[in-house]
Chain A
Amino acid sequence: MPITAEPRHLDARYDVTVVGAGPAGLAAAIAARDQGAERILLVDRDAEPGGILRQCIHSGFGLHAFSEDVTGPEYAHRYVERVLERDLDVLTDAYVTDVTREHRVKLMSPTTGVTTVDTGAVVIGTGARERTRAQITIPGERPAGVMTAGLAQKLVNLHGYLPGSRVVILGSGDIGLIMARRLTLEGAEVLGVFELLPHANGLSRNVVQCLDDYDIPLHLSTTVIDIHGHERVERVTVAPVDEDLQPIPDRSRDIDCDTVLLSVGLIPDAELARQLQLSLDQRTGGPVVTSTYETSLPGVFSAGNNLHINDLADWVSQEATVAGAAAADVALGRTRARQDIAVTPGTNVRYVVPHTLSTDLTQTVSFRVKQPIYGDTIVRIGEAHRRKVRAVVPAEMVTITLGPRLLAAYAGETLRVDAVPAEQAEDAGTDGATDRDGAG
């Protein structure tokens, strides 16, 4: 379905402005309209909406959103169709450089120039950026041929170039695993995936279907300790690591290669959040939010990977749908939900989003564990919720939906979220206060 890339005109005032037209922004814009907001502006820095989904050509999307397994571009297509049906203002090739605390959005695009719009509410859907070489400090030379897996994915899937011929992948994040398969299918040789930790960071489905299927070795507890090559990568040195994750140089070896792809994690793109001086959660790297994903600055919402790194686009869309609807409510002057319960990470929980819950809403709690538990695991949210799951791993987010009926008794309290082996949960009794590693 065709759309014009530009709005017919840019209004001076919008009810809701959505920054970023990836899975979060698309869903937020749709929800804002469906909640009754009339004037909605959706801004994206790329030439067309869809965000990172455009280059994620693999399947595995939509199992929750559509009960169907679709590819990234198809997932985007379905949401963009819904945006078009609603006739929203979509401004592409545009970048939001600033949002003031008074909700004045400064943006630039070749068709509108440098301009500002006032808006009743803002939804930040700016996604994530990849960790780079500097953040994991690999010493050595700085030749061409070291790049993030996501940049390689863009070059291969959109532009039709290969990042190199002989590729080493550092980190077993899902993008790295998926790129190992993509590069193999497209004619490059992937020499191995090296993971510092003793377990893969990506989904086990991707380990089997992207590595094992193609006989690509996964080296756990091993890392790249040096990169060689003056102009272009020529070689890397890899070494196993000890229990403290320190490399053992005596057992190092060199691998001839021309490319190093980094798949060492994503970081919420919290640039706007920082400019707006929103309260940030050190654990997620994103803003602190209520159960409708409103940040510490009223009328500014955050959903998707700029809030916390989600494992599935489906959860991003779900979050953004709540945020978009709530943004419309704020813009239209409706009453906010009470935020009368605090949530905090407890035993074996790295972070929890959102940071407060409401006794008058149905809402979703998302969290990630610190350590994997392979076996029956008790997941509990204070006394309000307790559930047995078959396993928990850091690579997969846990999401739990809670209704007002469950929460009514806990107004004013702080609920701790724990994920513990089933047998320990029984030992710990019901007070939930036997945490050893605390909330940090």
Chain B
Amino acid sequence: MSTAARGAPAGRPRIFLVEDHAVFRAGVKAELGEAVEVVGEADEAGAAIELINERVPEVVLLDVHLPGGGGHAVLRGVRPLHPEVQFLALSVSDAPEDVIDVIRAGARGYITKTISGPELLQAVYRVAAGDAVFSPRLAGFVLDAFAQGSVPAAGLDPELDQLSPREREVLRLIARGYTYKEVGRDLSISAKTVESHVSSVLRKLQLSTRHELTRWATDRRLV
């Protein structure tokens, strides 16, 4: 894939797998093949934190659901010590509140396990380069979370607690299944600009203090 090649870092990225299904771990390793260097794997949160802090990989592929505290526990155990380690969240079950939790804890992206091999590789390269990776589903969750109460409450920072119209447009196209390149073509902007919009959304998501975000998650949990 040309885009993947362009975004590829000089060497093979060193990645770490945190995933409790051995079959899936094997599948991911087979799909990524020689393009990456798998420096380790873990099937529960405690062991993952220990090993990642020891080996300091470039990218951690992190299952949202994990025995021993879930994906965000791993993030909280690693980020303070090694902020340079990038996390890419993976999941099948997609409970929105879990996904938003992991993103707010510092993951650079979220993809579903149905993703194809080349797409997964591209996502790993992106995250390794510090870019954000939004799957259609994550874009939908974020739009949903920010749609609630579009009028910012008093005391909130509108810069952080609202999406700009352009960001909303970008997210909408991603949610519709467009790639960054296609989003760029549709909006007549470069893929790089699309990336910067997505990164800024990610930043808002992580820094936002709006209680709507929490309330949205709690509402979801009750359903």
A in complex with B: no
Using a CB–CB cutoff of 8 Å, the interface residues on chain A facing chain B are none
